[in-house]
Chain A
Amino acid sequence: MITRIVVRGYRLFMDFELEPNAGTNIVVGDNESGKSSLLEAISLALTGRINGRWAQDELNPYWFNVAAVETYFASLDSGSPLPPPEILIELYLTNNDDSLQYLLGVHNSRQDKVPGVKMHVAPNPDYAEEFADYMADAGRPAILPTEWYSVDWRQFSDERLTRRPKELGVSVIDSRTVRSTAGIDYHTREMLKDFIEPKESAAVAVAHRKARHIISTETLKSVNERIAEKGDALHDKPIGLHMDQSASASWEQSIVPQVADVPFAMAGQGQQAAIKVALAMNRSADTTAYALIEEPENHLSHTRLTKLVDRIEELAGDRQVFLTTHSSFVLNRLGLDKLVLLHRGTRVHLGALPADTVRYFKRLSGYDTLRLVLAERVVMVEGPSDEMVFERAFRDKHGKVPMALGVDVISMAGVSLKRGMQLCSALKRHAAAIRDNDGKEPEHWRMPIGELLENGKREIFIGEVADGPTLEPQFAKVNNDDDLRQLFDITDGDKATVDWMKAHKTDWALTLDEHPEVTVSYPGYISDAVDFVS
């Protein structure tokens, strides 16, 4: 099991450290947060490969952290040039497995005595001169000459690795659009290989070779005879057509899985993802201790996704799973406590979440938890009318919608404010909650969540009991009655403004929203909330 991941200088990661969960890790973040790069880094250090090809062959300048590269090139023109950028990826493993002891040593950045593997990309000392020449060239672009770099893949015992340690098996499942010419990616092919015994493999190879030979000598015979007749005209030596018998024509390349008589590559992409997860599950946990899954929700209908998530949960039983997602559903179902939140190459630390809150969101799996998780600042409101009034109040003050200033106003639609606040607290998120007093003193509502609040960071805003139990009386109280009746176009003279508003809960809020030219006042607790998140 991986207990610590260190990534330095790789893509978005300047100096990244993560102590992953033992079972599932749900990696969540905005675009450009480093989700995919994290999975890539893990895969690189575990297998020495990226997308099935050796790291050394794939190494390119874009692997390096942009800021580190810029700083380096800038320093070259200064009096004190910096050493060239390097990449370091380290995976620290648990020290409870005897079969991993050979990986144990202190050759890691923490000098921990644990088993582990690392990948170090640095200028190759053998090419020091070429590297220096390149850098000294006045016309060179500000791009690293990765040709003079080498990839050093080692155990923590400082022994070089040439192939993936057999104990560190990994299944990589990438359901983003993957297309290789063979219609099946390297990782899927690796998983399929598990099914084929060496003996069968040899038998298939022989049969395959024989079939090719028969095509060459029999089926193509007439063709070759015809060519031979015109042979002299073509070339001074005979020319013929034969099936490719070279190593590159191995049968493995021409075998593809079929799903219900449809070739894998022709199957729907959602189905492909489901099949890959099924294949990964089929591998024994002995051979695959790790599973890396990218955005499993892609191309899947909701019902299929439900099934897939169940399977992933099962898969995680005795493996360590790293999964990226953009889906609140996946996050809620697999458990909010498994969340690994990334933000521009750094980890946002998640504090402890009460187990019952994790269960609560698992059941409410349709709730858009990711909005809470990814927002810079959150305002939690009870329903749509509160949302619209707050937004309008915010616009009045700033001239912009809240989202434009990084404030996400989220209608809790029945989800308890306390659960939401627990999540915000675990994420140390800036959050405001707005609620009705429902005829009780604000303190009555404040007290149960008091420990989740933090001065200036998380607060709950509630109107005074004297000003009314809900938003409508609170709003009516601070505005001129005639103005409101005119704005809302209330014609029924028998009906009090507040009663009409209560009967038309979202209508009045919508009208308010649609008439920004009409000046209104807001209840104190709403204005306070606007000030708080500004």
Chain B
Amino acid sequence: MTNTATLAVAGARKTQSIVDACAGGDPTTRRLVVTYTLSGQLDLEERLRAACPPASLPEVCGWYAFLLRHWVRPFLPLMYSGKRLGGLNFDGLPRRNSKGIVIASGEERFLDGDSRAYKRFLSKLALDVADAADGTVITRLQRMYDEIYVDEIQDMTGYDLDILERLLGSTSVIRMVGDLRQSVFSTNAQDPRHKKYRGLGMLDWFEVQKKAQRLEVHYASTTWRSVQAVATFSDSIFDPALKFQATESAQEKSSEHDGVFALAPEHAAAYIEHYQPFRLRQTIATALPQGITATNFGISKGQTHDRVLIFTTKPMRDFLTKGTRLTGESACGLYVGVTRAIHSVAFVMPEPDASYLTVWTPTG
């Protein structure tokens, strides 16, 4: 069996594919599912419990817990003599200089006074410990699990990619799923390593792994969420040169207001009143009309809403009016926002007529 990476579009039931594989697979196969977000982990555990017979229930653990439990904790004394892992230091940082750059080196770069691992350098610590254990981290893992699933692969950056590469070299079958176009989080935001593989750049990393025959890359381009008009619009956010396949909608529901629209700020209140859309913005920096609240794109990940209303930024408006490409990160954010919708996406912008979208006004 070969390792696979399945790159899915939003709404392609990525997580469900893991649930299905566990529920329908050989119950004697030992599986581990590694997820990135905590909410994702809880949701996944619930769905697995509902779908899997007890014997097929895989182990589920978060990415940091995976690194702590299987990479660092069992072998830490081989790297730092006499040390035992205290836990995870989520927010703290080791010693820095006046410019805020971490200058601590050696043990104090990775472990705080209570021997807890700094989150920021955890994956590098995991690699160091694995080197000190001389291959036993991987042999132990491959003897424990026949299959390892990694969800939200798009969020992995920096040394996480080295961890993944080592997993790909194990005898366990690695199944990665993710959507590069939704890479709005990252496990190691400050990690300078593998900068070129950030976000959409991860496509290149997959190429490298493919060439090394460690990985097969599959695409899943059917969305079970958005109607075709929304799906097609979501594709248009990215440069065709990236060669993502066109998304096909399998959504059978329709409504009297399907598609992508633009509207003026003065009509926002009326639109909200009429359609009760879920309101979104890129970040807290996006200004909102008086009395209206909205959720940031990043937080909305994983959610599904009938209708979405997006408050635009200048680059978004340039994209909607002149077709100017968004930068990678902004494009991913917008993609996440747009693909929350089943039926409709509407953009709030001062000159809706300048866009190539259908303009909505209260009178219709």
Contact with B along A103-131 (1 / 0, CB 8 A): 01111000101000000000000000000
Contact with A along B100-142 (1 / 0, CB 8 A): 0000000000000000000000000000000001001000100
Contact with B along A51-75 (1 / 0, CB 8 A): 0000000000000000000000000
B-chain residues with CB within 8 Å of residue A107 when the two chains form the complex: 74, 77, 84
The segment from A153-161, A173-181, A225-233 that touches chain B is A153-161
- List B51-84 residues whose CB lies under 8 Å from chain A: 69, 73-78, 84
Would you mind naming 30 contact pairs between A and B with Cβ atoms under 8 Å apart? Answer: A98-B143, A98-B144, A101-B140, A101-B143, A102-B144, A104-B74, A104-B136, A104-B140, A105-B74, A105-B75, A106-B74, A106-B78, A106-B133, A107-B74, A107-B77, A107-B84, A111-B77, A111-B78, A113-B75, A113-B133, A113-B136, A156-B74, A157-B69, A157-B73, A157-B74, A158-B74, A158-B76, A158-B85, A159-B69, A159-B73
What is the interface of chain B, defined by CB distance below 8 A to chain A?
A: 69, 73-78, 84-85, 133, 136, 140, 143-144
A-chain residues with CB within 8 Å of residue B144 when the two chains form the complex: 98, 101-102
What is the distance, in angstroms, from A198's C-beta to the closest C-beta of chain B? Answer: 12
- List A397-432 residues whose CB lies under 8 Å from chain B: none
Alpha-carbon distance A46/B291, docked complex (angstroms): 64
Residue from the list B73, B133, B136, B140 in contact with A158, Cβ < 8 A = B73
Please name the residue on chain A nearest to B132 by beta carbon. Answer: A106
A-chain residues with CB within 8 Å of residue B75 when the two chains form the complex: 105-106, 113
B-chain residues with CB within 8 Å of residue A101 when the two chains form the complex: 140, 143-144
What is the distance, in angstroms, from A494's C-beta to the closest C-beta of chain B? Answer: 87
A-chain residues with CB within 8 Å of residue B143 when the two chains form the complex: 98, 101
- List A139-179 residues whose CB lies under 8 Å from chain B: 156-159
What is the distance, in angstroms, from A106's C-beta to the closest C-beta of chain B? Answer: 5
A-chain residues with CB within 8 Å of residue B73 when the two chains form the complex: 105, 157-159
Please name the residue on chain B nearest to A108 by beta carbon. Answer: B77
Alpha-carbon distance A159/B75, docked complex (angstroms): 12
Q: Which bracket fits the contact residues of A?
A: 10 to 19
What is the distance, in angstroms, from B57's C-beta to the closest C-beta of chain A? Answer: 15
B-chain residues with CB within 8 Å of residue A106 when the two chains form the complex: 74-75, 77-78, 133
Alpha-carbon distance A157/B141, docked complex (angstroms): 12
A-chain residues with CB within 8 Å of residue B133 when the two chains form the complex: 106, 113
Alpha-carbon distance A111/B77, docked complex (angstroms): 8
A158 and B78 contact, CB distance less than 8 A: no
Alpha-carbon distance A283/B199, docked complex (angstroms): 55
Please name the residue on chain A nearest to B74 by beta carbon. Answer: A105
What is the distance, in angstroms, from A97's C-beta to the closest C-beta of chain B? Answer: 9
A-chain residues with CB within 8 Å of residue B136 when the two chains form the complex: 104, 113
Alpha-carbon distance A453/B190, docked complex (angstroms): 73
Alpha-carbon distance A107/B143, docked complex (angstroms): 19
What is the distance, in angstroms, from B319's C-beta to the closest C-beta of chain A? Answer: 50
What is the distance, in angstroms, from B78's C-beta to the closest C-beta of chain A? Answer: 6
Alpha-carbon distance A105/B75, docked complex (angstroms): 6
B-chain residues with CB within 8 Å of residue A104 when the two chains form the complex: 74, 136, 140
Contact with B along A453-494 (1 / 0, CB 8 A): 000000000000000000000000000000000000000000
4 nearest A-B residue pairs (beta carbon): A105-B74, A157-B74, A98-B143, A101-B143
What is the distance, in angstroms, from A411's C-beta to the closest C-beta of chain B? Answer: 56
Alpha-carbon distance A125/B323, docked complex (angstroms): 64
What is the distance, in angstroms, from A508's C-beta to the closest C-beta of chain B? Answer: 71
Alpha-carbon distance A406/B110, docked complex (angstroms): 60
Please name the residue on chain A nearest to B76 by beta carbon. Answer: A158
Please name the residue on chain B nearest to A98 by beta carbon. Answer: B143
Alpha-carbon distance A158/B85, docked complex (angstroms): 8
B-chain residues with CB within 8 Å of residue A98 when the two chains form the complex: 143-144
Alpha-carbon distance A101/B133, docked complex (angstroms): 15
B-chain residues with CB within 8 Å of residue A111 when the two chains form the complex: 77-78
With A101-B140, A111-B77, A157-B74 already in contact, 5 other A-B pairs whose C-beta atoms are closer than 8 Å: A104-B140, A105-B75, A106-B75, A113-B136, A158-B84
A-chain residues with CB within 8 Å of residue B76 when the two chains form the complex: 158
A-chain residues with CB within 8 Å of residue B78 when the two chains form the complex: 106, 111
What is the distance, in angstroms, from A197's C-beta to the closest C-beta of chain B? Answer: 16
Alpha-carbon distance A101/B138, docked complex (angstroms): 11
Alpha-carbon distance A101/B142, docked complex (angstroms): 9
Alpha-carbon distance A158/B69, docked complex (angstroms): 9
What is the distance, in angstroms, from B129's C-beta to the closest C-beta of chain A? Answer: 10
Alpha-carbon distance A111/B84, docked complex (angstroms): 13
Please name the residue on chain A nearest to B84 by beta carbon. Answer: A158
What is the distance, in angstroms, from B65's C-beta to the closest C-beta of chain A? Answer: 11
Alpha-carbon distance A158/B136, docked complex (angstroms): 15
Alpha-carbon distance A158/B70, docked complex (angstroms): 10
What is the distance, in angstroms, from B241's C-beta to the closest C-beta of chain A? Answer: 45
Alpha-carbon distance A411/B77, docked complex (angstroms): 56
What is the distance, in angstroms, from A348's C-beta to the closest C-beta of chain B? Answer: 33
B-chain residues with CB within 8 Å of residue A102 when the two chains form the complex: 144
- The residue in A101, A104, A156, A157 that gathers the most chain B C-beta atoms within 10 A of its C-beta is A101
Alpha-carbon distance A159/B136, docked complex (angstroms): 17
Alpha-carbon distance A159/B78, docked complex (angstroms): 16
- The residue in B74, B75, B76, B136 that gathers the most chain A C-beta atoms within 10 A of its C-beta is B74
Alpha-carbon distance A98/B146, docked complex (angstroms): 11
What is the distance, in angstroms, from B73's C-beta to the closest C-beta of chain A? Answer: 5
Alpha-carbon distance A362/B136, docked complex (angstroms): 44
What is the distance, in angstroms, from B1's C-beta to the closest C-beta of chain A? Answer: 17
A-chain residues with CB within 8 Å of residue B74 when the two chains form the complex: 104-107, 156-158
What is the distance, in angstroms, from A84's C-beta to the closest C-beta of chain B? Answer: 19
Please name the residue on chain B nearest to A115 by beta carbon. Answer: B140
Alpha-carbon distance A156/B73, docked complex (angstroms): 10
Please name the residue on chain A nearest to B85 by beta carbon. Answer: A158
What is the distance, in angstroms, from B172's C-beta to the closest C-beta of chain A? Answer: 11
What is the distance, in angstroms, from B80's C-beta to the closest C-beta of chain A? Answer: 12
Alpha-carbon distance A202/B300, docked complex (angstroms): 46
Alpha-carbon distance A105/B77, docked complex (angstroms): 10
Alpha-carbon distance A113/B84, docked complex (angstroms): 15
Alpha-carbon distance A105/B83, docked complex (angstroms): 13
What is the distance, in angstroms, from B77's C-beta to the closest C-beta of chain A? Answer: 5
B-chain residues with CB within 8 Å of residue A157 when the two chains form the complex: 69, 73-74
What is the distance, in angstroms, from A125's C-beta to the closest C-beta of chain B? Answer: 12
Please name the residue on chain B nearest to A155 by beta carbon. Answer: B74
Please name the residue on chain B nearest to A100 by beta carbon. Answer: B143
Please name the residue on chain B nearest to A158 by beta carbon. Answer: B73
Alpha-carbon distance A111/B144, docked complex (angstroms): 21
What is the distance, in angstroms, from B250's C-beta to the closest C-beta of chain A? Answer: 40
- The residue in B73, B76, B136, B140 that gathers the most chain A C-beta atoms within 10 A of its C-beta is B140
What is the distance, in angstroms, from A71's C-beta to the closest C-beta of chain B? Answer: 24
Alpha-carbon distance A116/B227, docked complex (angstroms): 55
Alpha-carbon distance A107/B144, docked complex (angstroms): 19
- The residue in A102, A104, A105, A156 that gathers the most chain B C-beta atoms within 10 A of its C-beta is A105
What is the distance, in angstroms, from A484's C-beta to the closest C-beta of chain B? Answer: 75
Alpha-carbon distance A159/B72, docked complex (angstroms): 11
Alpha-carbon distance A392/B273, docked complex (angstroms): 117
B-chain residues with CB within 8 Å of residue A158 when the two chains form the complex: 73-74, 76, 84-85
Alpha-carbon distance A106/B133, docked complex (angstroms): 9
Please name the residue on chain A nearest to B136 by beta carbon. Answer: A113
Please name the residue on chain A nearest to B139 by beta carbon. Answer: A101
Alpha-carbon distance A159/B74, docked complex (angstroms): 8
What is the distance, in angstroms, from B318's C-beta to the closest C-beta of chain A? Answer: 53
What is the distance, in angstroms, from A522's C-beta to the closest C-beta of chain B? Answer: 63
Please name the residue on chain B nearest to A154 by beta carbon. Answer: B84
Contact with B along A83-109 (1 / 0, CB 8 A): 000000000000000100110111100
- List A295-335 residues whose CB lies under 8 Å from chain B: none
Alpha-carbon distance A98/B145, docked complex (angstroms): 9
Please name the residue on chain A nearest to B81 by beta carbon. Answer: A111
What is the distance, in angstroms, from B34's C-beta to the closest C-beta of chain A? Answer: 16
Alpha-carbon distance A111/B75, docked complex (angstroms): 9
B-chain residues with CB within 8 Å of residue A156 when the two chains form the complex: 74
Alpha-carbon distance A6/B78, docked complex (angstroms): 20
What is the distance, in angstroms, from B154's C-beta to the closest C-beta of chain A? Answer: 29
What is the distance, in angstroms, from B145's C-beta to the closest C-beta of chain A? Answer: 9
Alpha-carbon distance A111/B81, docked complex (angstroms): 10
